[in-house]
Amino acid sequence: MGKYTVCLDIGGTKVLGAIFNAKGEIVHRIKKRTRANEGVSNVEETILSVVRELVEGFGIALTDVEAISAGAPGIINNDTGVVLFSPNLPWRNYAIKKSVEKQFGIPFFIGNDVNLGVLGEWKFGVAEGLSHVVGLFVGTGLGGGLIINGKMYSGHQYKGAEFGHMILNIDGPQCNCGQRGCLEAFSSKTGMTDYIRQQILHGRSTMMADSIREGVFKSKEMKAAYEADDEVMIEAIDRACLYLAVATGNLVNMFSPEMVIFGGGVMEALGAVFLEKILSKVNAYCLPSVRESVRFEVASLGDDSILFGARALILDAFESGAIL
Ligand SMILES: [Zn+2]
């Protein structure tokens, strides 16, 4: 594969874009606000403008780009490039592949962001060379990814590996999916924010009060409060890690992976703290014989794991002959 590829990480608040060279190195990158609450056409315009600005900023032409690939939250059919549903973006049955390919005349690929994050870590990061990998990405939501027998597994129509909606307590807190007590409702930034909000309602004080007034806190605000020994923040983190340990134990027993990877914005900010807290509890929830052979690691590509996974999607398409 020669020339350049453009890879995108489309989130609810920002779009990260990067140009990779033929050696697989990121040579140029930009970040832009998604404007998710301004409608379908604005989000698409953001994506198109990120591609254009990347290409112009790096001083190449669109004809130098062999393929574009993106990770986005939600249920996405990798084959058809249709986003069936996205929790943070205004997309329902949205044929984004068709739309972008029509604009640029360049092959476009898209997949679930966390599936791609795990794919990136498996192909180029901490899990390189392994055959059985479980990934949990903790951010605004909580997503999962699964490598089984040396292949990405995402279930029928790419709808599976939704580890964030593993129900851990049927009487637990409300989750955005409509259920109660999902892992996401305890351990994501949304779950931790809800917990902090409840504590404030009970009259407790925390330096996170301003951070959660208008929605979910930012990872760096969580880090600052943790480092300042904010009692309520530490409780929210401990609770998040307890449920992450329970979910991890379930996944270890189900899949006997060689490695469980923890990634996402929360891990990028406080990975060592989270990993230590998860590790201090996880053994109680694993079958001892299975626990023996699994390693727990923080994602090594950080914020770039989804970009690298998007690139892996292009490489797979070249290998399978989908791009000639
Ligand atoms: Zn849920």
User: Residues 88-143: pLDDT tens digits?
Assistant: 788 899 999 999 999 999 999 999 999 999 999 999 999 999 999 999 999 999 99
CA 187 centroid distance within chain: 14
In terms of DSSP H, where are the helices of the chain?
40-58, 96-104, 113-124, 183-187, 189-201, 219-227, 231-255, 265-282, 288-291, 305-320
Closest by CA position to 186, among listed 242, 115, 251: 242
pLDDT of residue 1: 52
- Its pTM stands at 0.93
Quote the ligand 1 centre to 101 CA distance (angstroms).
Answer: 33
Q: How far apart are CA 145 and CA 154, in angstroms?
A: 7
Using CA atoms, how far apart are residues 107 and 315, in angstroms rounded to an integer?
12
Ligand 1 mean position, distance from CA 178 (Å) = 6
CB-CB contact of 113 with 156 (8 Å): no
* 256 CA to centre of ligand 1 in angstroms: 24
How confident is the model over 225-244, as pLDDT tens digits? 999 999 999 999 999 999 99
Ligand 1 centroid to 164 CA: how many Å? 6
pLDDT at residue 218 tops 90: yes
Q: What torsion do the CA atoms of 242, 226, 88, 4 make, to the nearest 10 degrees?
A: -100
pLDDT of residue 196: 98
Tell me the average pLDDT across 48-52.
Answer: 96
**76 alpha carbon to ligand 1 midpoint, in Å?**
17
* Rounded Cα distance, 135 and 123, in Å: 13
pLDDT of residue 53: 97
* Sheet architecture: strand order including 75-77: 75-77, 82-85, 92-94
Is 4-112+304-320 in CATH node 3.40.47.10?
no
pLDDT at 40 over 80: no
**192 C-alpha vs ligand 1 centroid, how far in Å?**
14
Assess whether pLDDT exceeds 90 at residue 149.
yes
pLDDT value of residue 2: 62
The structure tokens listed for 300 are 């090594």
Give the mean model confidence (pLDDT) for residues 35-60: 89
Confidence at 321, pLDDT banded by 50, 70, 90: confident
Is residue 173 within 8 Å of residue 185, measured between CB atoms?
yes
pLDDT cut 90: percent of the chain above it: 86
CATH 3.30.420.40 maps onto the chain at: 4-112+304-320, 126-300
**Domain 126-300 carries which CATH code?**
3.30.420.40
**pLDDT recorded at residue 324:** 58
What's the rounded Cα separation, in Å, for the pair 295 and 277?
Answer: 15
| pLDDT-derived band at 60, boundaries 50, 70, 90 | very high
pLDDT of residue 87: 77
- Choice among 78-92, 195-209, 255-269 with the minimum mean pLDDT: 78-92
Region at 297 (left for phi over 0; alpha for psi -120 to 50; beta for the rest):
beta
Pairing of β 151-152 and β 108-112: unpaired
